[in-house]
């Protein structure tokens, strides 16, 4: 998971180290079992705290807090600037007869340029903590906080893109807190719009905790959810909508919900995550700077649909 560029040097020896993750190794596999659990690496003493372990721990811990990445297509890249062409208008020829030739149809290629930016956090251990043999505790706590901050930054970046004005938007028929409103009618309208735009089937529904509370407490939804386990995480099956995954993220505005086709709506160009050790002599501390390179973009705007006013503001 970690690609070493120079020999590791334990904390306290004041050497500078540089490490980088290989994006293809970190994000090529999106299965549930591909996520390494936090706690695989531990620090028993300060001699084990190296740039390599700091980077791997950050990557592992931050993954546990990713939410909106689950509704985006991850494109692993090891460069920060590149271009790619998006093909649209691709159709299949149906029921081609014997000895008949299917016409060649040309896809519309739309260029898309990427210039990745970086989100940055610092992990710091003071000289005092090292002299008191407490650096392992300080670094462990700092890693947990910084990994959460790094994941929060990525979720926020994705939210700003996913809920931009690119996707079609309309108001719900009424508040989902009211029994006179049927949430499934609003949902079917949004999903049908994506299908009619030939952008696939909406397979993700993204909202914040207030919207999900209104949805799951509605009497119509309760009928579909009977016997089902109530969601306990940030990703879950949506009752009454086979094949649709629900995502909970509280960056989202309180009265909006997004429906999208994961393959066609948002692409997350994920670059390398790097770690570098440094010495801060005036403050008396050793630190590591973690840089996470990324850029999310909308592929096909009509592959998403935003409902507003689903609950009172």
Pair (75, 152) in one structural domain: yes
Pair (253, 284) in one structural domain: no
Mean pLDDT along residues 75-86: 87
Mean pLDDT along residues 244-252: 92
Choose from 125-139, 160-174, 215-229 the range with maximum mean pLDDT. 160-174
pLDDT in tens, 106-115: 777 788 899 9
Confidence of residue 79 (pLDDT cuts 50, 70, 90): confident
Report if residue 16 sits inside a domain.
yes
Report if residue 104 sits inside a domain.
no
Hey, what are 213's tokens? 């509370």
Task: Find, among 199, 218, 313, the residue nearest to 256 by Cα.
Answer: 313
Report if residue 106 sits inside a domain.
no
Pair (30, 171) in one structural domain: no
Choose from 8-12, 33-37, 59-63, 270-274 the range with maximum mean pLDDT. 270-274
- Determine the structural domain holding residue 290 and report its residue range: 2-82+111-161+266-299
40-49, 56-65, 263-272, 285-294: least confidently modelled range: 40-49
- Count structural domains, the chain: 2
Confidence of residue 135 (pLDDT cuts 50, 70, 90): low
Pair (294, 148) in one structural domain: yes
Report if residue 248 sits inside a domain.
yes
39-48, 83-92, 192-201, 211-220: least confidently modelled range: 39-48
Report if residue 212 sits inside a domain.
yes
Q: Is 73 helix (H, G, I), strand (E, B) or coil?
A: strand
Pair (16, 119) in one structural domain: yes
Q: Is 129 a residue whose pLDDT tops 80?
A: no
Pair (13, 126) in one structural domain: yes
Pair (126, 233) in one structural domain: no
Report if residue 172 sits inside a domain.
yes
Pair (271, 261) in one structural domain: no
Confidence of residue 196 (pLDDT cuts 50, 70, 90): very high
User: What burial class does residue 120 get, using C-beta atoms within 10 Å of its C-beta: 0-12 exposed, 13-18 middle, 19+ buried?
Assistant: middle
CATH number of the domain encompassing residue 205: 3.30.1930.10
User: What pLDDT does 137 receive?
Assistant: 65
CATH number of the domain encompassing residue 40: 3.30.2400.20
Report if residue 115 sits inside a domain.
yes
Pair (134, 272) in one structural domain: yes
Q: Is 205 a residue whose pLDDT tops 90?
A: yes
pTM score: 0.77
Pair (260, 186) in one structural domain: yes
How many CB atoms lie under 10 A from the CB of residue 310?
25
5 contacts: CB under 8 Å, gap ≥ 6 = 18, 19, 20
User: What pLDDT does 3 receive?
Assistant: 35
Q: Are 258 and 167 in contact (CB under 8 A)?
A: yes
* DSSP category for residue 40: S
Mean pLDDT along residues 199-228: 86
240 vs 126, higher pLDDT = 240
Pair (173, 231) in one structural domain: yes
Mean pLDDT along residues 166-185: 91
Pair (140, 180) in one structural domain: no
Distance CA 266, CA 119 (A): 19
pLDDT in tens, 2-40: 333 322 333 332 233 444 444 433 333 333 222 223 233
Q: Is 158 a residue whose pLDDT tops 90?
A: yes
Report if residue 101 sits inside a domain.
no
């Amino acid at each position: 998971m970690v690609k070493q560029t120079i020999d590791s040097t334990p904390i306290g020896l004041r050497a500078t180290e540089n490490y980088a993750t290989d994006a293809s190794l970190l994000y090529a596999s999106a299965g549930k079992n591909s996520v390494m659990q936090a706690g695989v690496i531990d620090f028993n003493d300060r001699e084990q705290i190296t740039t390599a372990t700091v980077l791997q721990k950050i990557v592992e811990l931050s993954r546990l807090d990713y939410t909106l990445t689950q509704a985006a297509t991850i494109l692993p890249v090891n460069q920060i600037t590149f271009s790619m062409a998006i093909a649209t208008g691709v159709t299949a020829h149906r029921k081609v007869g014997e000895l008949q030739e299917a016409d060649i149809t040309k896809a519309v290629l739309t260029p898309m340029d990427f210039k990745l930016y970086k989100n940055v956090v610092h992990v710091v251990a003071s000289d005092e903590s090292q002299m008191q043999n407490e650096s392992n505790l300080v670094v462990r706590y700092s890693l947990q906080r910084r990994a959460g901050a790094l994941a929060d930054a990525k979720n926020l970046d994705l939210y700003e893109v996913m809920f931009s004005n690119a996707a079609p938007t309309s108001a719900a028929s009424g508040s989902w807190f009211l029994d006179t409103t049927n949430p499934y009618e609003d949902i079917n309208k949004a999903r049908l719009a994506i299908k009619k735009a030939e952008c696939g089937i909406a397979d993700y529904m993204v909202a914040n905790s207030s919207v999900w509370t209104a949805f799951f407490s509605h009497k119509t939804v309760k009928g579909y959810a009977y016997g089902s386990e109530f969601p306990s995480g940030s990703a879950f099956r949506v009752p009454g909508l086979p094949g649709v995954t629900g995502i909970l993220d509280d960056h989202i505005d309180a009265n909006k919900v997004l429906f999208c086709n994961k393959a066609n709506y948002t692409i997350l160009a994920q670059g390398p995550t790097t770690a570098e050790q440094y010495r801060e002599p005036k403050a008396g501390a050793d630190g590591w700077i973690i840089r996470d390179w990324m850029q999310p973009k909308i592929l096909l705007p009509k592959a998403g649909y935003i409902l507003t006013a689903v609950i009172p503001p």
